Amino acid sequence: MLRSPILWKLFATYVALGAVCLVGAGYATNRILVDSARREVEHGLIERARALAPTLERDVIGDSPDLEARVRDLARTIGDRITVIRADGTVIAESDRDLFEVGNHSNRPEFIAAMRGTPDTAMRHSATVGRDLLYAAVPIGAAIPPLAVLRLALPLEIVSSNAAHIRDVLLWAGSLGLLAAVVLGFVVARRLTRPLAEMTEVARRYTVGDLASRVRASSRDEIGELGRALDLMGEELERKIQTVERDREETRALLSAMIEGVIAVDGDERIILVNAAAREIFPLGGTPPEGRSLTDAIRNEPVLRAVTATLRERRSHAFEVTLLDGSGRVLEAQATPIGGARGGCVVVFHDISRLRRLEDVRRDFVANVSHELRTPLTSVMGYVETLLAGGMVDGETSRTFLRKIASNAERLHALITDLLSLSRLESQAEPYRLAPVRVNAVVEKSLGSFRDRIAAKSMTLEVLGERDDVLALADEGGLRQVVDNLLDNAIKYTPDGGRITVEIGGDERNVTLAVKDTGVGIPAPDLPRIFERFYRVDRARSRELGGTGLGLAIVKHVVQALHGTIEVASEPGRGSRFVVTLPRASGASLPSNLPATQP
């Protein structure tokens, strides 16, 4: 509080004002009192002269030789210097000096005034006595001009001593008044500045976020009104900031929950907001992007061009962005201006990579289906046209063509059957019901269906792993479909005399089923795509073997519907190994009403 600059400014102002007033008043009072004292001395001196003049009139008229002695006696009695001056200015009696030492006084102003009949006073230095004196002269007698003039003189030291006494009294009074002004000024200044200091402290706390502080002024003057206005401002500011913070949190939560990336920039293309999705799309680094230039944070030319155009033209721009990070992701974006003429813009990014991939898959699917259907249909149509053109005459040729037609029809039937199965799996039209399934039994049934084909190709079949019943939490029909397709592929792509091994195993939580062959194998670049529909490593060989290109796609969808996984390892010329992992069932303790799972 004592360090407050305004306190000392007010205090200095009060003290200076008090000092000026006291000095001015003291000076005026001193002048008045000194003048009053001087006039009182002059008046008393004139009155004494008037009282003495009649007593000396007879001696002056009679030219008494005792006049000087009488004058000296009177001077000793009243204590004043007495001088009697004739009308011609000659001194005829002097109480302090001999007459021969005194010159003519006809030019003295008090003498001149007295000769006119008017008592008068004068102050000057007396060369006769060598002192400053106050003179008072009155005429002797009633005649005008008078016969003589009586003059009394009083040393100015007496008047000066009275004036000094008055100045001393005024100085002490002024000092006490100045001291009172200092104390009163400090008290008043402190009383005025204390609420101002409190308001300053409250305002400082407002700047650092402490909006709960209040002045709580009780006075009814302007300073009290200012304090109450500051309190109201604090309450209103606290309410508005709470509202802004709540809105900001809601906006932040909304932006964080958005799957679309959002970036907002100001008019100078500096980032003011980036949500979590945008941070995943663009590598913004470890430092906070807020406040950074968009050019430094995002080095993507289409985005920068769109933002610049939006800020310049103040209209929305829609565009597409292909990320150059190797992911091949495609983003659909729109930059929209915000604020006024000098406002910024907000850019929203929507990842359409999946849609583009789906479009590509759809196009490939349509092209593949068309191609797969066209080949057997073309063969059927060719054989039919040949038969209709006369080929039926030769019975052996007719039977050959009919067998070809039947083979292509079976191929079409298999293709359509696989397409329908894949369609049902993708549309989840037939949900699987999970239950404990004996994997050994399913494998044995499936192998029974393929033993003739295995024997026809002189292959060796081996089943390894657990001999007891291995229970998997699955659907028996779905698991059978998986095993059938894996065995069918192994038989197709393994040369005569090869080996097929089925392994059953797992751990406490999972059951594994592996189908291994010694076939042609799969090149490494093709491994990531072998589960795609209609994808074939060797298209010509696959068609010769009667494959539809949908078997592994069906296997993948069924395994996923059974909450399992499938992996493949292969080397060209050394065969392939497919491993299916399914959840293990606990046997008889499992309830009979297990929930269905969507394929």
* Close Cβ partners of 87 (under 8 Å, ≥ 6 residues apart): 115, 145, 146, 147, 148, 149
For residues 262 and 408, state if they share a domain: no
Whether residues 159 and 32 fall in one domain: yes
Cα–Cα distance for residue pair 14/258, rounded to 1 Å? 66
Q: Quick check: 414 pLDDT over 70?
A: no
Residue 5 CB neighbour total at 10 angstroms = 8
Domain ranges, residue 442: 430-597
Task: Report residue 588's pLDDT band, with 50, 70 and 90 as the boundaries.
Answer: very low
Residue 582 lies in a domain: yes
Q: 451 and 502 share a domain?
A: yes
Question: Does 382 share its domain with 521?
Answer: no
Confidence of residue 595 (pLDDT cuts 50, 70, 90): very low
CATH code for the domain in which residue 269 is found = 3.30.450.20
DSSP, collapsed to helix, strand or coil, labels residue 165 as helix
The CATH number given to whatever domain includes residue 374 is 1.10.287.130
Same domain, 126 and 152: yes
Mean pLDDT of 59-86: 83
pLDDT band at 597 (very low <50, low <70, confident <90, very high): very low
Task: Examine the domain organization and report whether 441 and 529 are in the same domain.
Answer: yes
pLDDT confidence of residue 515: 92
Q: Both 11 and 135 in a single domain?
A: yes
Look at residue 486 and tell me if it is in a domain: yes
Same domain for 438 and 562: yes
Tell me which amino acid residue 508 is: E
Most confident segment among 4-18, 292-306, 407-421: 292-306
Domain stops at, among 300, 317, 351: 351
- Number of domains making up the chain: 4
User: How does the average pLDDT of the chain come out, rounded?
Assistant: 78
Q: Does residue 186 sit within a domain?
A: no
Q: For residue 249, tell me if it sits in a domain.
A: no
pLDDT class of 516 with cuts at 50, 70, 90 = very high
Reply yes or no on whether the pLDDT at 441 is more than 80: yes
CA distances 219 to 222, 433, 556, 584, Å, are: 8, 82, 84, 83
The edge-to-edge listing of strands for the beta sheet with 565-571 is: 460-465, 499-506, 510-517, 575-583, 565-571
What CA–CA distance (Å, rounded) separates 562 from 181? 98
Which of the listed residues 351, 371, 392 is the one where a domain comes to its end?
351
Considering the domain architecture, whether residues 364 and 322 belong to the same structural domain is answered as no
Residue 152 makes CB contacts below 8 A (sequence gap 6+) with: 45, 48, 49, 52, 78, 80, 81, 82, 83, 135, 136, 137
Q: Report the pLDDT averaged over residues 395-421.
A: 73
Work out the average pLDDT over 88-110: 80
At 501-512, the pLDDT tens digits run 999 988 888 999
For position 598, what pLDDT does the model report?
43
Cβ contact 582:505 at 8 Å: no
What pLDDT is recorded for position 593?
44
Residues in the chain: 599
Low-confidence winner among 77-81, 256-260, 408-412, 452-456 (lowest mean pLDDT): 408-412
Predicted TM-score (pTM) of this structure: 0.44
Mean pLDDT for 264-276 is 87
Last residue of a domain, one of 135, 164, 193: 164
Answer yes or no: are the C-beta atoms of 557 and 570 closer than 8 Å.
Answer: no
Tens of pLDDT, residues 182-210: 777 777 766 666 777 777 777 787 777 77
Are both 103 and 27 inside the same structural domain? yes
Burial status of residue 19 (CB atoms within 10 A of its CB: 0-12, 13-18, 19 or more): middle
Residues 19 and 32 in one domain: yes
148 lies in the same domain as 295: no
Q: What is the CATH number of the domain that holds 487?
A: 3.30.565.10
pLDDT at 540 over 60: no
Is 151 among the domain residues? yes
**How many CA atoms lie less than 13 Å away from 129 in the CB half-sphere?**
18
Q: What is the pLDDT of residues 218-252, one digit of tens each?
A: 667 777 777 778 788 888 888 888 888 888 788 77
Tell whether 474 is covered by a domain: yes
pLDDT (0 to 100) of residue 534: 66
Beta bridge partners of 348: 262, 334
Residue 510 DSSP symbol: E
The CA distance from 379 to 541, in Å, is 18
Q: How far is CA 101 from CA 53, 108, 127, 128, 443, in A?
A: 23, 16, 10, 7, 167
Q: What is the pLDDT of residues 124-183, one digit of tens each?
A: 877 666 677 888 899 988 888 888 888 888 887 666 666 667 777 777 877 787 777 777
In a domain, 169, yes or no: no
Which of 276-280, 378-382, 529-533, 564-568 ranks highest by mean pLDDT? 564-568
Report yes or no on 73 lying in a domain: yes
pLDDT tens-digit profile of 124-136? 877 666 677 888 8
